Chain A
Amino acid sequence: MLVKVYITLKPSVLDPQGKTVQKSLENLGFKDVKDVRVGKYIEVQLSDTLKKEEAQKQIQKMCERLLANTVIENYSFHI
C-alpha cells in the first residue's frame, strides 16, 4: 500500500529556499511567479494487509513523531 506524504512549511515560517527558487524562476523569464515555497514529498510503503483506517492511524503517528516537525511544518497524506 503506497502512502504519499506531503510536508510543507507553515505559512508563518519564512522560506529562504523558496524565495531563492522564486528569484531564479523570475530570472529565467517566468514573470508571473508570485511565490514559491519548498516542501518535502515522502513515499511510505505499508503492508497491503493493513486496513485503510489502521494505515491512516499509523501514518498520522509517523508524521507527528518523525516525518514532520509540527513546530514549523504541516503535513498531509494520501493513501
Chain B
Amino acid sequence: MKWGVVTFPGSNCDHDCIYVLKELFHQDVQSLWYKETNLKGLDAVILPGGFSYGDYLRVGAMAAQAPMMKEVISFSKKGGLVLGICNGFQILTESGLLPGALLRNTSLKFMCDTVELSVSNANAKFTNRYTKNQKISMPIAHADGNYFIDSEGLKKLQDQDQILFRYTQNPNGSVDDIAGICNEAGNVLGLMPHPERVCEDVLGGEDGRALFESMMS
C-alpha cells in the first residue's frame, strides 16, 4: 500500500507516522510538503499532529486552506483513505471533510496523558482489526480536543455509526465522549489520540497498530 504523510509548517508528528509505516509495517511511504499538489498513485494520506501555522486564528484553520488540502479533498472524494490525527483531525473539520469542530478543552489546559478508549464501531475501514467495545489505551496531547457538534449533527453521527472511538473517561468535554469520527462514506477518519505513538511495546504500547492494520486489510 502506498502512503503519503503531509507536512504543514508546524507539523511535528509527521516523522513518527513515517517511522511507524516504514520501519514497523514495511510500507511504501512518502513525505508530502504542504505546497505539493500531487497525490497520484497513493492509497492513503495522513494529516499528522502538531501545531500547523502556530494554531493561528483557529486550530487547523490555516492548514485547511493550504494548497495540499484541495488535493486531499478531491483524493477523498475519489475514495482515497484519509487519516487525521490530533491537529490533522482539526484540519479535517476545518476543511469540511468531517462535520463539527474542535474547541478548547473545558479545563482550558493542554492535556498530555494516556487515556482509555472504547472502540464504538469495529466494522469501519479504520477499525476492522479491533473488536466492538474493545478497551484500548492511547496517548493524547492537545489543548483543543473538545469535539462539538449540534444535536442534529450528533444524531446523524450516532445513527450512521460514524463514531469510531469514545473516551471511557472524558478528558476534554467532547460531546458524547467522542474521540474519533469518520465521514459518511467511511474513508476519512479524524481522532484526537495518537495511534502512531503506541505501535511498539518499547514505546509504551501496541494498541495503535490495529488501526493501521485495519487500513491495510
B57 near A72: Cβ-Cβ < 8 Å: no
Using Cβ atoms and an 8 Å threshold, which residues of chain A touch B94?
A: 69
Whether a CB of chain A sits under 8 angstroms from the CB of B186 is no
Using Cβ atoms and an 8 Å threshold, which residues of chain A touch B114?
A: none
B173 near A16: Cβ-Cβ < 8 Å: yes
Whether a CB of chain B sits under 8 angstroms from the CB of A13 is yes
Whether a CB of chain B sits under 8 angstroms from the CB of A33 is no
Whether a CB of chain B sits under 8 angstroms from the CB of A36 is no
A20 near B65: Cβ-Cβ < 8 Å: no
Using Cβ atoms and an 8 Å threshold, which residues of chain B touch A66?
A: 57, 61, 65
A75 to nearest B CB, angstroms?
13
Cα–Cα distance between A12 and B103 once the two chains are bound (Å): 13
List, sorted by A's number, 6 A–B pairs whose CB atoms are closer than 8 Å. Answer: A12-B150, A20-B108, A66-B61, A69-B94, A71-B99, A72-B103
B100 near A69: Cβ-Cβ < 8 Å: no
Using Cβ atoms and an 8 Å threshold, which residues of chain B touch A14?
A: 103, 106, 173
Using Cβ atoms and an 8 Å threshold, which residues of chain A touch B149?
A: 71
B105 nearest in chain A by CB position: A16
B63-120 contacts to A (CB < 8 Å): 65, 93-94, 99-101, 103-108
Known: A66-B65, A72-B101. A17 touches B108 (CB 8 A): yes
> Given contacts A66-B61, A71-B149, A72-B148, could you give 9 more A-B pairs where the C-beta distance is less than 8 Å?
A13-B103, A16-B104, A16-B105, A16-B106, A17-B104, A17-B108, A69-B94, A72-B101, A72-B103
The B contact surface, by secondary structure, is loop
B49-64 contacts to A (CB < 8 Å): 57-58, 61
A69 near B108: Cβ-Cβ < 8 Å: no
Using Cβ atoms and an 8 Å threshold, which residues of chain A touch B93?
A: 71
Using Cβ atoms and an 8 Å threshold, which residues of chain B touch A55?
A: none
B173 near A69: Cβ-Cβ < 8 Å: no
Whether a CB of chain B sits under 8 angstroms from the CB of A67 is yes
Interface string of A50-79 (1 = CB under 8 A from B): 000000000000000111010110000000
Cα–Cα distance between A10 and B101 once the two chains are bound (Å): 12
B200 to nearest A CB, angstroms?
36
User: Which listed residue (A12, A16, A67) contacts B108, Cβ 8 A?
Assistant: A16
Cα–Cα distance between A13 and B94 once the two chains are bound (Å): 16
A37 to nearest B CB, angstroms?
13
